[in-house]
Amino acid sequence: MITGSLVALITPMTLDGNIDKQKLDELVEYHIAQGTHGIVAVGTTGESATLTYDEHADVIRQVVEKVNGRVPVIAGTGANSTHEAIDLTQRAKEAGADACLLVVPYYNRPTQEGMYLHFKAIAEAVDIPQILYNVPGRTVADMSNETTLRLASISNIIGIKDATGNLERGKELIEKAPADFAVYSGDDPTAVDLMLMGGKGNISVTANIAPAAVAKAAELAIAGDAEAAHAVDNSIKALHSALFVEPNPIPVKWAAAQIGLCDMSIRLPLTELSATFHDAVNQALVASGIKDK
C-alpha cells in the first residue's frame, strides 16, 4: 500500500511557458532527498488542465524515469471524458507509473451512477492500481461515500483522495471501506487529523514547499503519535492557508519561485500571484522556517 506524504508536484515551466525538463528532474531529486514518500505527477497542482495531451504523457514518463523506482509515482490521468481518461491511464501504465489518480468528472456533472460506471470502465480497461479523487470544490460534482464504497469492491481501485476537508466523511470511509482500500487526504489543513483516524497519507500541495515537515507529520500521524504530528504540522500551518489565497497552483508556484525551486511561470488562464498576496505568502514562508525574511 502506498502511504505517507505524496507531493502533488508542480510542473515547472520556463519563462516562455515551456515545460522546464531540467527543473522537473531537479524537483524529483529534491523531494526524494527531503523524504517525500511518493510523487503525484500532473495532478491539479501540476497544471493538468493546461498541458497538452502529449505534454501530459511526457511529464509522467520523465518523472517515472527520474524516480527510477525509488518512491511510488502516481500519475494524474483523470478527465471528464471516460474515453480520454482510459487513454491517459493506459499511457501512464505504459510509462511505468505505479498507480493513477482519477478525478471525478468535471463540468458535465454526472449522476452518482454515471460516476460509478465511469470509474468502473477505466478500472476494467486498464490493469493498474487506481486512486479515486473527489474534489467537489473544483468539479462541482460530489461523489458520495456510498458510490466510493461501491467502487472500493473493484480490485484495482485501491483508494481515494478525499479533498472535501470533511473529517466525518473521511472517518466513515475509513471505517466502512475494505482493509486494503486507502483513504488519502487531499486537504492539507485537515490531513494530520484524517491520518490519525486511519488515513494512509496526504496528497499534499504544501509538500512542494516544506517536504521534510509534511513527510515527518505524515509518518507520525500514521504511527498514531498525535501530539508530535500536530507539533510538526503546526510549524507549517501558515503555509496551509497561504498556499490557497488564490486558486491552486498559483500561490504554490509563486512560493516555489521565491525559494529557487523553479521560475515563476504559469499558463493562462492562470496568472501569477496577485501582488496583494505577496506579503501573506512570503510571511508564511518565513513563519514556517523556509525563508529568513
Annotated binding site: 45, 203
List the grid coordinates of 260. Answer: 529557487
Active site residue 120: no
Binding residue positions for pyruvate: 45, 203
Q: Where are the beta strands (DSSP E) in the chain?
A: 4-8, 38-41, 73-76, 99-103, 130-134, 157-162, 182-185, 201-204
Active site residue 107: no
Q: 190 vs 66, 212, 218, 237, CA distance in Å?
A: 31, 18, 12, 10
For the chain, the first-to-last Cα distance in angstroms comes to 40
Cis peptide before 269 (omega within 30 of 0): yes
- Catalytic member of 133, 184, 216, 253: 133
List the grid coordinates of 82. Answer: 471516460
In 3D space, the residue among 2, 109, 34 whose CA is nearest the CA of residue 290 turns out to be 34
The three-class DSSP label of residue 277 is helix
Range list of H helices, 126-249: 136-139, 145-151, 167-176, 191-196, 211-222, 226-235, 237-242
- Catalytic member of 23, 66, 93, 161: 161
List the grid coordinates of 104. Answer: 471525478
Active site residues: 133, 161
